[in-house]
């Protein structure tokens, strides 16, 4: 089956939102140097824009697109940027560029697939790491669904954690703040951002249970974001981390983030130099955890959190995550559509 463009890629063209019959004309093919197959070309009959099948792909204008899937799998398997470059045959700067582009696609894909969450129990916790130096601490709040361990939202931002007065570490921090200025503490803002992300994905009027530890700001923020629609259940963080602990799913998920993301390993040169890069890495991890990796080793193959929640009909492969571009929201081509003949809206309509 040959590729048929679903709409004109130009946002100002009438055929972008409501393409009618015969809105485009085929204009042959071109042979890219990095591929063995020809790429079809098209021209819009309404606005005159020329485009190709590649316009709708994630690897549009990529160099060495055949390395994308391997790069993605290495980056979500705890491998650092330089070692990933060695393994797939890329310069470290090329890996950095691919990481940023993959992050954008994964973020948009997650937004397009996770439009409405039919679930009622969620868990929240924060994980601490640092950027560039151990005295520049960073918080990373994560929200997951309790039964499937689906990663709903995650972000990261700087926090201020001062050592005991008079210690060598405290003097180091004071010298650093004198040079760079007082370090901001964005913990509350980051937690609020993840909770607001969760709220946007819930059906109108949904009531939820939110599990967390005893941190006082969680109760205030949960009530501020959800109002009376939330029942906030708290468990001491010092409780035994067994399967009987209500926080076991989020504790294990945070442990998995350290295993799958080299940037989160303590006392390692893989640590992020900027918190923004950690956020990009977490976009890759969320798509991998939700749509690629089976939830538990004991589950049947392909039983990903996203499939268990009914957000997608099957698990994705790495090349499908990085297949079609997700620039156009729910009108973007669905990742399981091999020929590009099905958008997210069409998949939801059955």
Domain boundary residue among 56, 71, 92? 56
For residue 81, the surrounding DSSP H or E stretch is helix 81-88
Q: What is the pLDDT of residue 73?
A: 98
Q: What is the pLDDT along the chain (350 residues), one digit of tens a residue?
A: 589 999 999 989 999 998 988 999 999 999 988 888 899 999 999 999 999 999 999 999 998 999 999 999 999 999 999 999 999 999 999 999 999 999 999 999 999 999 999 999 999 999 999 998 899 999 999 999 999 999 999 999 999 999 999 999 999 999 999 999 999 999 999 999 999 999 999 999 899 999 999 999 999 999 999 999 999 999 998 888 899 999 999 999 999 999 999 999 877 788 888 899 999 999 999 999 999 999 999 999 999 999 999 999 999 999 999 999 999 999 999 999 999 889 998 877 66
Say if 98 falls within a structural domain. Answer: no
**Same domain, yes or no: 34 and 124:** no
Edge-first strand listing for the sheet containing 39-44: 24-30, 39-44, 50-52
**Token pair for 173:** 């921090």
User: Rounded distance, CA 145 to CA 249, Å?
Assistant: 9
Q: Are residues 46 and 131 in the same domain?
A: no
Contact 258, 264 (CB under 8 A): yes
- Asked if residue 224 and residue 152 are part of one domain, the reply reads yes
Q: Same domain, yes or no, for 279 and 149?
A: yes
Predicted pLDDT of residue 132? 87
Does residue 347 lie within any of the structural domains?
A: no
| CATH number for the domain harbouring residue 195 | 3.30.420.10
Give pLDDT, residue 75: 97
Q: Is residue 89 part of a domain?
A: no
pLDDT reported for residue 250: 97
The answer to whether residues 140 and 1 belong to one domain is no
And the tokens for 138?
Answer: 């960073």
In a domain, 2, yes or no: yes
- 61 near 38, Cβ under 8 Å? no
Domain count, the chain: 2
One domain for residues 38 and 138: no
- Residue 44 vs residues 15, 61, 233: alpha-carbon distances, Å: 8, 21, 55
Domain boundary among 32, 56, 80: 56
Q: Are 41 and 130 contained in the same domain?
A: no
Q: Which of 12, 33, 56 is the last residue of a domain?
A: 56
Residue 218 maps to a domain: yes
82 inside domain: no
In a domain, 294, yes or no: yes
Domain ranges, residue 126: 114-308
Question: For residue 69, is it within any domain?
Answer: no
Query: What angle separates helix 92-113 from helix 68-75, to the nearest 10 degrees?
Result: 80
At CA 140, angle to CA 139 and CA 142, rounded to 5?
A: 145
Domain shared by 143 and 222, yes or no = yes
Are 19 and 146 in a shared domain?
A: no
Unique residue bearing structure tokens 């390692």: 268
């Amino acid at each position: 089956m040959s590729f048929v463009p679903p709409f004109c890629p130009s946002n100002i063209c009438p055929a972008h939102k409501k393409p009618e019959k015969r809105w485009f004309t085929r204009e042959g093919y071109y042979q890219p140097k990095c591929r063995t197959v020809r790429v079809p070309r098209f021209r819009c009959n309404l606005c005159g824009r020329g485009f190709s099948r590649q316009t709708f792909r994630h690897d549009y204008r990529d160099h060495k697109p055949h390395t994308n899937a391997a790069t993605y799998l290495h980056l979500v398997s705890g491998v650092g940027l330089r070692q990933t470059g060695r393994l797939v045959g890329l310069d470290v700067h090329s890996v950095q560029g691919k990481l940023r582009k993959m992050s954008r696609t994964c973020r948009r894909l997650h937004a397009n697939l996770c439009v409405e969450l039919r679930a009622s129990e969620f868990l929240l916790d924060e994980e601490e790491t640092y950027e560039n130096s151990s005295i520049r601490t960073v918080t990373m709040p994560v929200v997951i669904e309790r039964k499937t361990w689906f990663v709903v939202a995650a972000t990261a931002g700087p926090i201020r954690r001062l050592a005991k007065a008079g210690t060598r570490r405290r003097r180091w921090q004071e010298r650093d703040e004198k040079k760079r200025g007082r370090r901001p503490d964005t913990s509350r803002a980051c937690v609020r951002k993840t909770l607001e992300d969760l709220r946007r994905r819930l059906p109108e009027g949904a009531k939820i249970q939110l599990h967390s530890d005893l941190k006082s700001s969680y109760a205030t923020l949960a009530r501020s974001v959800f109002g009376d629609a939330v029942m906030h259940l708290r468990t001491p963080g010092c409780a035994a981390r067994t399967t009987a602990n209500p926080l076991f799913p989020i504790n294990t998920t945070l442990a998995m983030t350290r295993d799958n993301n080299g940037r989160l390993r303590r006392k390692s040169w893989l640590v992020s130099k900027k918190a923004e890069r950690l956020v990009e890495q977490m976009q890759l991890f969320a798509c991998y955890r939700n749509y690629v990796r089976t939830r538990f080793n004991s589950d049947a193959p392909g039983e990903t959190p996203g499939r268990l929640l009914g957000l997608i009909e099957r698990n994705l492969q790495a090349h499908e995550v990085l297949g079609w571009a997700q620039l156009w929201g729910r009108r973007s081509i669905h990742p399981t559509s091999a020929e590009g003949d099905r958008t997210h809206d069409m998949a939801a309509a059955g």
